[in-house]
Amino acid sequence: MGAAIGGVDAGYEVITDNDQILSIMRYQVNTVGSSSTTMRYDTIDKVDNVLITLPSLFKDDSYIDAINAYIEGEMERQMAADEMISYFTENEYGEGFATIRSDQNFYITNDQQLVISFDKYEVAPGYMGVVTFEIPTEVVKKLLVSDVYIR
């Protein structure tokens, strides 16, 4: 009987670094037979020295439904446009993507766009890897506390 061979690779990557925002992606890849990848993002306001959370960007919880609707539509659009793209959607499997969480992985780009990130296997088959959705600002503009971070 052979022993399982596996390993862990971890590190970080700076996603955004400008006068206002620092977004760092921390990743961990576990390899045992196949691999699983988890990402965690820290987005920091360098001026005020505060960690930015997803709920802190918005006036109330209505951002959740707005972002969910956009992501669901984008999943359907991408799957219709490319047969190699597949997502776990509620319609198809009875489970899968239903909603983002208040602690959902996200970061803010240098262009001040909100990006929602899902780990490998979270909303799509493993071959899709880590999946991200850039949320158009017009989808959430009226829900934002301010336009300091997202424009």
pLDDT for res 92: 53
Look up tokens 């493993």; give the residue. 126
The per-residue pLDDT for range 52-95, each reduced to its tens digit, is 999 999 999 999 999 999 999 999 999 999 999 999 987 555 56
pLDDT for res 8: 83
Give me 134's structure tokens. Answer: 């850039």
What is the amino acid identity at position 8?
A: V
pLDDT for res 2: 37
CA distance 75 to 71: 6
Which residues in the chain show pLDDT less than 70?
1-6, 33, 91-95
DSSP state of 60: S
pLDDT for res 96: 76
Contact 151, 110 (CB under 8 A): no
Instruction: Find, among 118, 102, 111, the residue nearest to 15 by Cα.
Output: 111
CATH architecture of 6-143: Alpha-Beta Complex (3.90)
pLDDT for res 1: 39
pLDDT for res 121: 86
